[in-house]
Amino acid sequence: MNAPHGRRALGALSVGAILLAVGASFAYLALDFRALFTGDGPHEMARFVRAFFPADLGGAFLRQVGLGALQTFAVSVLGTLLAVVGGAALALPAAGRFGRLPKWLARFVLNGLRSMPELVWAALMVLAAGLGPFAGTLALALHTTGVLGRLFAESLENAPRTPELSLRDLGAGAVASFAYATLPLVAPQCLGYALYRWEMNIRMATILGFVGGGGLGQMLYFNLSLLQQPQAATELLGMAGLVLIVDAISGAARKALSAHAG
């Protein structure tokens, strides 16, 4: 009787703490959304929203948006691919394949790469490589390497060792044993992770433009700064379309992958 009682008290306590935290947050930020609903507020908001319509669908501008979308797409694909390569390279030592010291080092590097958000990497890469999509690609690649490297290392550690060990026992080389015994076991899962990250990266790639990473994001930031809402509306539509397309491709690829594996 006592244990559930204690649990219930703990639960009530944490719910109370959450409510308190929410109240404190609103108080601390002194949020006053009343201005949005009273006086001139609704009118102003409506005017701001109405300025987005109609979207600018002029031929020349549409072509520009298409180019920006392609650039964002390229940034997301290349960033993810580089991260797959980098993640795989770091996953091997991080899974403890080369002894303890390389393992700690690789994990440290992966943690560092992962814990910096993409946007911070992008700001740094703009310094290192200049404004443009290349900086965005590098930023995505660095952060995603940290994420994928850890996930790959985990799959490597969880894969059964016996197939590889038996190949080794038969006299096959280390690389061949890995490539024909362990790699086929972990590849579907790793590809699944990579596709999932790609879906996240297409969203990120649009955002990286805000700090100078090229593509649709850079155009949107520019147009919004100049209060050119019709152009911004087109770019927003382009972003949403891009995200939906990538989700569809990635979803189809993942389905094919699981059908293949299963």
Partner 1 sequence: MNLDLHAPVRADPALRDPLARRRLGLAVAALVLLWPLLRLAEFNPATLADPANLQVMATFLGGFLPPATGREFLGELLTATLQTLAMATAGMALAFVVAVPLAFASTRVLSLAAIGPAAGAWRGRAWRQAVRAFMVFLRAVPEVVWALMFVRAVGLGPAAGVLALAITYGGMLAKVYSEILESVDARPARALLEAGSGRVAALCFGLLPLAAQELASYTVYRWECAVRAAVIMGFVGAGGLGQLMDQSLKMLSGGEVSSIALVFLGLVMLADAISHGLRRVLA
Is residue 3 close enough to count as binding partner 1 by CB under 8 A? no
One character per residue 111-150, x = contact with partner 1 (rule: CB under 8 A): ----xxx-xx--xx--xxxx-xxx-xx-------------
Instruction: Quote the least distance from Cβ 8 to partner 1, whole Å.
Output: 11
Under rule CB under 8 A, residue 238 binds partner 1: no
Contact 151, 90 (CB under 8 A): no
What's the min distance (Å) between Cβ of 130 and partner 1? 6
Report if residue 257 touches partner 1, rule: CB under 8 A: no
Cα–Cα dist 68/217, whole Å: 8
Hey, what are 261's tokens? 């594996």
Residue 160, preceding peptide bond in cis (omega within 30° of 0): no
| Single-letter residue type at 258 | S
Find the shortest distance in angstroms from Cβ 20 to partner 1: 10
Joined together, the tokens standing for residue 13 give: 């306590």
Of 57, 165, 244, 245, the one binding partner 1 by CB under 8 A: 244
Residue 1 or 175 having the CB closest to partner 1: 175
Contacts of residues 225-234 at CB distance under 8 Å and 24 or more positions apart, as own/partner, are 227/51, 229/48, 229/51, 229/52, 230/51, 230/52, 230/53, 230/54, 230/55, 230/56, 231/56, 231/61, 232/52, 233/52, 233/53, 233/54, 233/55, 233/56, 234/55, 234/56, 234/57, 234/61, 234/62, 234/65
Summarize as ranges the residues that interact with partner 1 (CB under 8 A). Answer: 10-11, 14, 18, 21-22, 24-26, 28-29, 31, 33, 36, 44-45, 48, 70-71, 73-75, 77-78, 81, 115-117, 119-120, 123-124, 127-130, 132-134, 136-137, 170-173, 176, 180, 203-204, 206-207, 210-211, 214, 220-221, 224, 227, 236, 239-240, 243-244
